[in-house]
Amino acid sequence: MGRLFRFLLAGLAFFLGITLAAASAVLFIYSSIAIRGNGMIKTMEQLQSPVDCIIVPGASVIANRRPSPMLQDRLDGAVELYRAGFSDRILVSGDHREDNYNEPLVMCRYLLEQGIPDEAILMDHYGLDTYDTMYRARHVFQINTAIIATQRFHLQRALFLAERSGLSASGCATDPRFYSSHPYMLLRETGARLKAVYEVRTGALPAYTSPSFPFGGDGRLTRDPF
- Phi/psi-derived region of residue 129, left when phi > 0, alpha when psi is between -120 and 50, beta in every other case: beta
pLDDT at 187: 85
Domains of the chain as residue ranges with CATH? 28-216 (3.40.50.620)
pLDDT at 17: 52
pLDDT at 98: 87
Report the half-sphere exposure of 10 (CA within 13 A, side-chain side): 6
As a whole number of angstroms, the distance between CA 57 and CA 131 comes to 10
Gyration radius of the chain over CA positions: 20
pLDDT at 25: 54
pLDDT at 72: 98
Asked if 105 contacts 68 with a C-beta cutoff of 8 angstroms, the reply is no
Asked if 108 contacts 94 with a C-beta cutoff of 8 angstroms, the reply is no
pLDDT at 28: 57
Instruction: Tell me whether residue 36 is exposed, middle or buried, using C-beta atoms within 10 angstroms of its C-beta: 0 to 12, 13 to 18, 19 or more.
Output: middle
Tell me the whole-structure pTM to 2 decimals.
Answer: 0.88
pLDDT in tens, the chain (226 residues): 566 556 555 555 555 556 554 555 555 567 678 787 788 899 989 998 899 999 999 999 999 999 999 999 999 999 999 999 999 999 999 999 888 899 999 999 999 999 999 999 999 999 999 999 999 999 999 999 999 999 999 999 999 999 999 999 999 999 988 888 778 888 889 889 989 999 999 999 999 999 999 999 999 999 999 8
Residue closest to 96 by CA, chosen among 67, 126, 59: 126
Residue closest to 38 by CA, chosen among 201, 130, 158: 158
